[in-house]
Amino acid sequence: DAGVTQSPTHLIKTRGQQVTLRCSPKSGHDTVSWYQQALGQGPQFIFQYYEEEERQRGNFPDRFSGHQFPNYSSELNVNALLLGDSALYLCASSPTGTGGAYEQYFGPGTRLTVT
Amino acid sequence: ILNVEQSPQSLHVQEGDSTNFTCSFPSSNFYALHWYRWETAKSPEALFVMTLNGDEKKKGRISATLNTKEGYSYLYIKGSQPEDSATYLCAQYNFNKFYFGSGTKLNVKP
């Protein structure tokens, strides 16, 4: 079992550009959550996908959008990048229906740098 | 937005010392609390999931307690080892979302 995987590992983008980050959940998990971790802070919840729908959303602007595919993998898209979007983006997966309340597994993250 | 706080922010101890950290969270509408251990360049790893007031959980030298009425959880490490060096995160699950603290960074010197 490969666990939760994310790609790419690192990414450098310019202000105003768009970026797509990818996540494959742990085998048997169908719920994917995305988090942003800025330097010196804890992870902040962006949104959660279940059955290809956004189920919950944190306090992030519409520039942050996502998608979940039939195989449960997910993408996080960020448009019109700002310097403040520089962060580590973590993906987490959890089993059906629990939203992660009792079980959540994290990937290693994608480090995004916006210049 | 729920405010989950962790203290201390960082901790430096000698090998063999026992240590503990605190996670404070809003006590109303409590559902679950997670503790994670996060080593540099690795994925956060789940340590404990706690749901009931008075819960005590143990994994080897690490244990945790939960008080939902007063809104805090303690994580204890007995006889710290250099391999315990990591950031320890707590997260409250509430209103179908996770709210993380900013973590306690533990450094154990040999």
**Which 3 state secondary structure label does DSSP give B83?**
helix
- Backbone conformation region of residue B96, classed left if phi is above 0, alpha if psi is from -120 to 50, else beta: left
Asked if B43 and A3 come within 8 Å (Cβ–Cβ), the reply is yes
Q: Which residues of chain A neighbour B30 with C-beta distances below 8 Å?
A: none
pLDDT of res. B96? 82
pLDDT tens-digit map of B24-65: 999 888 899 999 999 998 999 999 999 999 999 999 999 999
Interchain contact, A42 vs B91, CB within 8 Å: yes
Contacts of B1 in chain A (CB under 8 A): 59
List pLDDT tens digits, range A72-114.
Answer: 999 999 999 999 999 999 999 998 766 777 889 999 999 999 9
Using an 8 Å Cβ cutoff, are A112 and A85 in contact?
yes
- Note the Cα B38 to chain centre separation in Å: 11
Q: What pairs with residue B106 in β-bridges?
A: B11, B86
